[in-house]
Chains A and B, each alone.
Chain A
Amino acid sequence: SQTIHQWPATLVQPVGSPLSLECTVEGTSNPNLYWYRQAAGRGLQLLFYSVGIGQISSEVPQNLSASRPQDRQFILSSKKLLLSDSGFYLCASRFLNEKLFFGSGTQLSVL
């Protein structure tokens, strides 16, 4: 089965600082990859998805960007964090019609 590695687990960053969250996948090739955000008191919102290397689709306009430099690597970035970027970020992977596997998440606090 697939394993999702996501780090760091927690991150506290000042407003205006850059961000880089990394996600790597084991146990599958050419998965679809996703970044979700869970803001406090709200549900899971799909931010980005990727069906292949270099292919990124954005679901909502925002201050963040994503990249997929390798088949099993998915990176979430920002040049300048905003307070509203705080939340719990989850990377997920899916291969063909298998279930969605989630990483353990990164709790980001922007102060």
Chain B
Amino acid sequence: GNSVTQMEGPVTLSEEAFLTINCTYTATGYPSLFWYVQYPGEGLQLLLKATKADDKGSNKGFEATYRKETTSFHLEKGSVQVSDSAVYFCALSDLQGAQKLVFGQGTRLTINP
């Protein structure tokens, strides 16, 4: 079945550092890929998405490129801020039938000033 594997956390960085959170997936067909973010005390919200190979999703300075050859969708940001501290979830959806989203285990990111 479909699955998502994320880089284990927690990850702690200093402000303005470069961020990479790795995500790889296993899926049949051509899923859409997503990054969701959960800020402290809030619900999950969509950060970015990509629907086909070589697509790049971007939002709030974050980027992720859909790499079919390596089955990856790594999240990157060039200069993180304290306000980026949150839990990040990689997910995939096959957009068929029930359109189920399968999530990775989440990566907790803490940015220190």
Contact = CB atoms under 8 A, between A and B. Distances in A.
A57 B43 contact: no
Chain B, interface SS category: strand
A11 to B, nearest CB: 17
Contacts, number: 51
A100 B105 contact: no
Interface of B: 6, 34, 36, 42-46, 49, 89, 93, 95, 97-106
Given A32-B98, A51-B97, A51-B98, A44 B89 contact: yes
B44 A90 contact: yes
20 contacts: A34-B101, A42-B106, A43-B104, A43-B105, A44-B44, A46-B100, A46-B101, A46-B102, A49-B98, A49-B100, A51-B98, A90-B43, A94-B99, A94-B101, A99-B46, A99-B49, A100-B36, A102-B43, A103-B43, A104-B42
